[in-house]
Amino acid sequence: MFIKRKRGWEIPESEATPEAVFHDRRKLVQAMGLGVIAASATPGFIAAAGAATSAPDPTADLYPAKRNETFTLDRPLTAEKDATTYNNFYEFGTDKDIYQEAQALPIRPWQVKFDGMVEKEMTVDIDDLIRKMPLEERLYRHRCVEAWSMAVPWTGFPMKALVEFAKPKASAKYVRMETFSDAKFAPGFKQFWYPWPYVEGLTMAEATNDLAFIGTGIYGHPMPRQNGAPLRLVTPWKYGFKSIKSIVKITFTDQRPVSYWEKLQAKEYGFWANVNPEVPHPRWSQASERVLGTGERKPTLIWNGYGDFVAGLYDGLKSERLFV
Ligand SMILES: Nc1nc2c(c(=O)[nH]1)N[C@H]1C(S)=C(S)[C@@H](COP(=O)(O)O)O[C@H]1N2
Ligand SMILES: [Mo]
């Protein structure tokens, strides 16, 4: 299958990188004294990862949260093991099996900074933030731009509640979100030709839509690191890359954010990235998807099946590249 052979949506390194940098990369990396991902194979790393995992989560008492029955599925839930061992999280590497590497990420203490066009900039401790938010469980489908999909129970809160908490000014038009960028914990940063840090953005209308969700957990317990602990976005009507993980900064702005993938390859990954089976990716069809775990192929639905919630957001925007 093409995704296995070609690693799907990732563009070849030779295209992502200025020629000279690409050819000299190995030399450069050696010169800088960076043993690429060698650390992940050492026993010391594994021991440290184990220790990080076993610390009790300070919000564990909030799980499982009550399910919001508004959001129903047309298919069985993906097995937890599949959703937590097949991940995209480029900070930890470009393969799908980064879940062990991700255990090195320290998720406490963790702070989230709110800045830009807000009444008052602030930095908030993650546990204070989570305890202020109305936690609930939602069953959502997830459709990666690579054409695999899953259906999982997220725990979290409506993004609208987060926006209200942040008190943006009326002049703000977009929300820009940023992932942690401490290279100490994540081997992916050594691939310096990627435009770190991971950035994503939504319009204010999208961010305050009922479907936009901030995830703090999955399968009835706090979020595993590989799925974006301690705080990630969940926008199920958009391709999965919009759902930014491990957020440290939320900026309100009147400038449309340029995301990580848009910076890397704007022709293939745009700002809107809404799911549409009729608009192929430049290198593959989006007509159907491979269901994680079972391998079943299912037809992909426009807006990933969430048109009732979100189609109206785009009424005046027909000239935009809404589906790339
Ligand atoms: N910071 C960060 N967020 C990210 C990514 C990433 O590489 N880094 N990958 C994205 C992609 S492509 C997908 S499909 C989803 C995968 O989420 P999951 O691993 O929980 O299924 O996370 C998204 N969020
Ligand atoms: Mo994805």
Tell me: domain 13-314, CATH 3.40.50.300, correct? no
d(CA 149, CA 298) in angstroms, rounded, equals: 9
Q: What is the pLDDT of residue 54?
A: 63
If you average pLDDT over every residue of the chain, what do you get?
88
d(CA 309, CA 259) in angstroms, rounded, equals: 24
Q: Is the CB of residue 88 below 6 angstroms from any atom belonging to ligand 1?
A: yes
* Buried b or exposed e, range 58-70, using 16+ CB within 10 angstroms: bbeebbebeeeee
Q: Out of 243, 249, 259, 290, give the residue to mutate to test ligand 1, the one with the largest number of ligand atoms within 8 Å of its CB.
A: 243
In this structure, the residue with its CA closest to atom 20 of ligand 1 is: 227
Residue 173 host element (H or E): none
Residue 32 binned pLDDT confidence (cut-offs 50, 70, 90): very low
pLDDT at 52 over 90: no
SS3 143: strand
- What confidence tens digit (pLDDT) does each residue in 261-305 have? 999 999 999 999 999 999 999 999 999 999 999 999 999 999 999
Residue 20 binned pLDDT confidence (cut-offs 50, 70, 90): very low
Q: Is the CB of residue 130 below 6 angstroms from any atom belonging to ligand 1?
A: no
Average of pLDDT values for 14-29? 38
Torsion of CA 310, 153, 142, 53, to 10 degrees: 130
Torsion of CA 26, 261, 10, 180, to 10 degrees: 60
Beta-carbon contacts of 33 under 8 Å, excluding residues fewer than 6 positions away, are: none
- How many A from CA of 145 to the centre of ligand 2? 5
pLDDT at 13 over 60: no
Q: Name the nearest CA neighbour of 263 among 207, 200, 195, 181.
A: 195
Beta-carbon contacts of 265 under 8 Å, excluding residues fewer than 6 positions away, are: 11, 15, 16
Average of pLDDT values for 33-38? 40
d(CA 236, CA 274) in angstroms, rounded, equals: 9
Quickly count: other Cβ atoms within 10 Å of residue 289's Cβ.
24
- What confidence tens digit (pLDDT) does each residue in 246-268 have? 999 999 999 999 999 999 999 99
In this structure, the residue with its CA closest to atom 7 of ligand 1 is: 89
Structure tokens at 177: 């979100």
Residue 166 host element (H or E): helix 159-166
Q: Is the CB of residue 244 below 6 angstroms from any atom belonging to ligand 1?
A: yes
- What confidence tens digit (pLDDT) does each residue in 181-198 have? 999 999 999 999 999 999
Ligand closest to 87 (CA) is 1
Domain assignments of the chain as residue spans, ordered by start: 13-314
Structure tokens at 16: 């992502």
The pTM (predicted TM-score) of the whole model is: 0.87
Q: What is the pLDDT of residue 168?
A: 98
Using DSSP bridges, classify how beta strands 111-116 and 247-253 pair: parallel, antiparallel or unpaired.
parallel
Q: Is the CB of residue 90 below 6 angstroms from any atom belonging to ligand 1?
A: yes
- What confidence tens digit (pLDDT) does each residue in 101-136 have? 999 999 999 999 999 999 999 999 999 999 999 999
In this structure, the residue with its CA closest to atom 14 of ligand 1 is: 240
**% helix / strand / coil in the chain, to the nearest 5?**
30, 20, 45
Residue 55 binned pLDDT confidence (cut-offs 50, 70, 90): confident
Average of pLDDT values for 145-151? 98
Q: Out of 90, 241, 265, give the residue to mutate to test ligand 1, the one with the largest number of ligand atoms within 8 Å of its CB.
A: 241
- What confidence tens digit (pLDDT) does each residue in 188-235 have? 999 999 999 999 999 999 999 999 999 999 999 999 999 999 999 999
Contact 239, 324 (CB under 8 A): no
Q: Is the CB of residue 155 below 6 angstroms from any atom belonging to ligand 1?
A: no
Q: Is the CB of residue 249 below 6 angstroms from any atom belonging to ligand 1?
A: no
- Provide φ and ψ at 239, rounded to 5°: -60, 150
In this structure, the residue with its CA closest to atom 11 of ligand 1 is: 241
Average of pLDDT values for 171-183? 98
Q: Is the CB of residue 274 below 6 angstroms from any atom belonging to ligand 1?
A: no
- How many A from CA of 149 to the centre of ligand 2? 9
pLDDT at 319 over 60: yes
- How many A from CA of 31 to the centre of ligand 1? 31
Give the distance, in angstroms, between the CA of residue 176 and the centroid of all CA atoms in the same chain.
13
- How many A from CA of 4 to the centre of ligand 2? 14
Beta-carbon contacts of 129 under 8 Å, excluding residues fewer than 6 positions away, are: 112, 165, 231
- How many A from CA of 8 to the centre of ligand 2? 10
Strand partners, 129: none
- How many A from CA of 313 to the centre of ligand 2? 22
Q: Is the CB of residue 241 below 6 angstroms from any atom belonging to ligand 1?
A: yes
Average of pLDDT values for 166-171? 98
